[in-house]
Amino acid sequence: MPYEHRPKASGRRADLLLIVGFFSILVYPALSLVENPEELKARGVTEKRALTPRPPIWQFAAAPSKFVADFKSFFEDQFEGRGQLVTFNSLLRYNVFDVSTNASVLPGKHGAMFFAGEAVVPRHDFGHETARYRRVLPVTDRRLKRLQDLLESRRKWAESMGAKFVFVVAPDKSTTYSELLPEWLNPLDGPTFTDQLIDHLKATTNIEIVDLRPALEKAKQPGKPLFYLRDTHWNYEGALVGYHETTRWLKEKFPAITPFGPDDLVRKGERHQGDMTQMLHLGTRLSERSHQVLLKSPRSAIVPFEYDSTPVSSWAAPPITYKSHDARLPKALVYHDSFMLLLMPYLAENFDSSIFIRDQRVVTSTVKGYKPDVVIFECVERTLYYLAYITDDLLPTIEPAMIAENPIQSSSHVKK
Total-model pTM: 0.78
The pLDDT of 324-348, averaged and rounded, is 97
pLDDT of the residue at 248:
97
More confident residue, 258 or 184: 258
Looking at 72-86, 249-263, 319-333, 372-386, which range is the least confident one?
72-86
412 pLDDT exceeds 50? Answer: no
pLDDT digits (tens, 9 = 90+) for 136-152: 667 888 899 999 999 99
Direct distance between the N- and C-terminal alpha carbons of the chain, in angstroms, rounded to an integer:
104
**Among candidates 132, 89, 90, which has minimal Cα distance to 113?**
90
120 pLDDT exceeds 70? Answer: no
Whole-number average pLDDT of the chain: 82
pLDDT of the residue at 184:
83
pLDDT digits (tens, 9 = 90+) for 260-306: 999 999 999 999 988 888 888 776 777 889 999 999 999 999 999 99
